[in-house]
Chain A
Amino acid sequence: MGVDMSSANSPKRVKGPEVLAEEIVAPDEMDLVAALALDAIEGDDRRAAAMSVAPIDVDDARRVAIALAELTEEEPPADLRERVLSEARSRRAPGTPLVGSEPISPSEAFLATVDALHRLLADLRPDEWTAPALGQYGRVRDLIAHLVGVEENLLGVLGEGSPPDPSRWADHVQATADHVQACREMTTEALLERWVGGARRLRVVASIGSPDRPILVNDVPTTVRGMFVLRMFEVWTHHEDVCRATRRPLPIIDRARLQLMSSELMDALPAALTVTGTAVPGKTMEIVLTGTGGATYRRPMALQSEVGFPDVTITADIVDFCRVASRRLAPGALAVEVEGPSELCDRVLAATGAFARD
């Protein structure tokens, strides 16, 4: 994506996705982008700046910095090679596959997921913006208008801007109906600016204070930490929705975010079984998630129940399991291997999408 920072002080121009990032970033922010790309900002200033600018702008500016780095290339001392490789081998023995990854915080994961969708949207052609998307929203642009509403409603809940209409807040779709309507005539550039700006602002505002403080996300009581996970889940799901609507390849989500998303989902399964009335107190489920970020989880099949020896073991692909949770894949369509009573498996899969809202 092309970003000509030299014109950041000039009036906004509209000439398609190529210059979109420029249009949605104010000059002061482009100064921060340059300082971040050059590592000319540190400590709390760096963290604050990173939260207030779009990562894709920093990535873009950093490409120039890396070109400059070539000017300093120098062959390292010959003895350094073996020292470096030995040090690396001591940290992870050769032949040992990577099993874990550096954890990612929910707020970072949310921002990374927003960034990924931002990249896709910035690349859409005009006809793709109007492609039919989810039925309840209409077009791709209406789906993004829905996301505008989600961010702005949550900002309102956190005390910034207008609080959401209490009579509609519990309904995830209806709560953003006014936003979808209000954004109908907006240019796609302005729409994207509003969504990304809102999402970035949400990350900043919600990160102030304890991540364990309670917050009500529609009808789901959770914490700020949980809110970021729910939002990451939703943005990833809608990213896939846009890809399907525009016939583009589905995004590849990295290991760290998959681990976070799936582990949180596993922790929520006992509650999901309970709220859907399918809980089986005293029983234990074992879920084996395969693929990048996969792991094995044992959880009770009801809230306030103990984990014991597994009564049922369900093996499935990690991404597809997440799609069942977001109701983009029907439980019956999930390829699974089951050890134990299939009826228990059916209960688990039926409850997995309990917290999906659209």
Chain B
Amino acid sequence: MTTLELPRLRPVEPSPGSDAVAEFGTSASLLNRLVAGDDGALGVIYDQYSPLVYGLAKSVSGDDLTAREVTSEVFTYLWEFPDRVDLSRGSLKAYLGMIAHRRAVDAVRRSERRRMAEDRFRATSEQSSPSGETEALHHSALRWRKERLLGLVNALPVEQRDALRLAYFEGRTYRQVADELGIPEGTAKSRLRLALARLREQLDKDDRWAWT
């Protein structure tokens, strides 16, 4: 079975509040500080979420320069428009991840650097990062969570996994997914839907609130 080629696990400080309610309160407080012009709050948010934003942008673009630009855009945008975050629709983390992913795929599509992205992505995936893995051992809960996530993704039927990889981790449109996999566009969309549904089901079984 082909496994999904994803970047190796990297150490990230676990977020201080795993409880969804506490996280909501913390995020709301930080956003209020941003509205008031407290750039210290932006630093706190950057420290907490920049690995997510930068890593996602780099995964999609395969390019450090684009990832830097996207990271800068995301946090600058948050600083300029903190009132655009609606915590009733999702967490601050989800908002930043959404903006980062969208800007990264837009950047990749705009600059037509897909081929370069593929090459760099592949190279990144094949690299080992022993120091990162060693450090990750100190964050066993987080590591378990990532391994579990990776396991869930790799447990998807191969056709769904391929569609998901192309669309989310490599920034393809569903039309491009269909083209690359040689399947009808409707089938590509359905595979994406089924992949998300299956992952959601498994994540819900793990812990409904741990991943929100």
Contacts and interface: CB of A to CB of B under 8 A. Distances in A.
Contact of A40 (B150, B177, B201): B177
A38 B167 CA distance: 7
Chain B contact surface mostly: helix
Please provide the 3 A-B residue pairs with the shortest distance between their CB atoms, ordered closest to farther: A6-B197, A74-B55, A5-B197
A256 B84 contact: yes
A71 B75 contact: no
Interface string B178-212: 00000000100110111111111101100000011
Contact of B83 (A40, A91, A98): A98
Contact of B145 (A3, A35, A70): A70
Chain A contact surface mostly: helix
B30 interface: no
Interface in A82-104: 83-85, 87-89, 91-98, 101-102
Task: Give the contact-size bracket for chain B.
Answer: 35 or more
Interface stretch (A61-69, A137-145, A267-275, A282-290): A61-69
A77 B57 CA distance: 13
A107 B106 CA distance: 24
Nearest to B103: A39
A102 B81 contact: yes
A32 B189 contact: yes
17 contacts: A34-B195, A35-B189, A40-B167, A59-B90, A64-B203, A68-B199, A70-B52, A71-B149, A71-B150, A74-B58, A81-B43, A81-B47, A84-B75, A87-B76, A91-B76, A93-B37, A98-B34
A73 B46 contact: no
Nearest to A90: B76
Nearest to A56: B89
A116 interface: yes
Contacts of A212: none
Contacts of B101: 39, 65, 69
A55 interface: yes
A199 interface: no
A87 B35 CA distance: 17
A33 interface: yes
Contacts of B211: 63, 67
Contacts of B193: 5, 8, 30-31, 33-35
Contacts of B59: 72
